[in-house]
């Protein structure tokens, strides 16, 4: 069994992050990488190093971006990575809510048998949906955090220009990027806002079934099916809109880097 990482100060974590990133030691304990999520297969070495450093510095938010800059990861790149992660999280959440609805429909069609088993299945779907929603909230918060740091730094650095024309060009690009980000985060927030009411309604049905494992409880669930279907359909539409907005933002940011 691998021994746990020692408890380090923020300075110690920065030193450890830089050392490990430079040596290429990317094997971190599963419970540590779970804080930020493992990179997808096929992602670049840059993303692997980013995932490692994000894990090691997760408890030191203040120096995090400075350390990442020193390792060659500007805030702009971190923002794109986090938007991708938030988009992927929303896609996974959308699929989970669809699965939960299918399970709910199946339970309302219950014709007899082990009702406890049906309850356990429905409760499991609720718990998985709740976990996906929590991950979406966390990912969106990460996007907001790095975007705020990026825009604050960009605006402050405008005063460093000696060329008026270059300053105007940079300021115009800042305004355009802020506008694109504004559309993105509003879409993400709309999708987020739809999740909690759906979860609350779903939890009510699961809890009611737990307390009344009988045919009458199933009939009650069936009576609420139309409302839950409508709410989940609205949630999926908002998530799909948010995912499209994320893809547009990622494409725009990547195009700016190429140009």
Per-domain residue ranges for the chain?
1-73, 74-258
Q: How far apart are CA 78 and CA 84, in angstroms?
A: 10
Checking if the pLDDT of 156 tops 60, the result is yes
Contacts from 215-224 at CB under 8 Å and sequence distance 24+?
218/107, 218/108, 218/110, 218/115, 221/104, 221/107, 221/108, 222/108
Q: Does the model's pTM come out above 0.85? A: no
Is pLDDT at 10 greater than 80 in this prediction? no
b/e 149-160 (16+ beta carbons within 10 angstroms → b)? bbbeebeeeeee
Q: For 62-93, how does the pLDDT look when each residue is reduced to its tens digit (9 = 90+)? A: 588 889 888 999 999 999 999 999 999 999 99
pLDDT tens digit string along 97-145?
A: 999 999 988 888 876 667 788 889 899 999 999 999 999 999 999 999 9
């Amino acid at each position: 069994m691998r021994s746990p990482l020692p408890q380090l100060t923020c300075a110690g974590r920065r030193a450890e992050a830089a050392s490990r990133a430079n040596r290429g030691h990317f094997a971190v304990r599963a419970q540590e990488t779970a804080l930020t999520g493992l990179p997808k297969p096929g992602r670049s070495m840059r993303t692997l190093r980013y995932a490692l450093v994000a894990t090691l510095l997760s408890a030191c938010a203040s120096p995090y971006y400075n350390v990442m800059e020193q390792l060659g990861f500007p805030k702009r790149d971190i923002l794109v990575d986090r938007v991708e992660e938030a988009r992927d999280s929303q896609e996974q959440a959308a699929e989970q809510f669809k699965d939960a609805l299918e399970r709910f429909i199946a339970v309302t069609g219950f014709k007899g048998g082990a009702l406890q088993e049906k309850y356990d299945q429905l409760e499991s779907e609720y718990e998985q949906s709740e976990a996906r929603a929590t991950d979406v909230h966390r990912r969106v918060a990460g996007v907001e955090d790095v975007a705020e740091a990026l825009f604050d730094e960009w605006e402050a650095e405008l005063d460093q220009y000696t060329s008026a024309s270059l300053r105007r060009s940079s300021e115009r690009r800042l305004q355009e990027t802020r506008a694109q980000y504004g559309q993105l985060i509003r879409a993400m927030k709309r999708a987020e806002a739809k999740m909690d009411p759906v979860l609350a309604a779903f939890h009510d049905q699961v809890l009611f079934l737990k307390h009344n494992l009988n045919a009458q409880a199933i009939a009650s669930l069936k009576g609420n099916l139309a409302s839950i279907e409508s709410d989940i359909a609205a949630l999926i539409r908002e998530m799909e809109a948010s995912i499209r907005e994320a893809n547009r933002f990622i494409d725009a940011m990547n195009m700016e880097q190429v140009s």
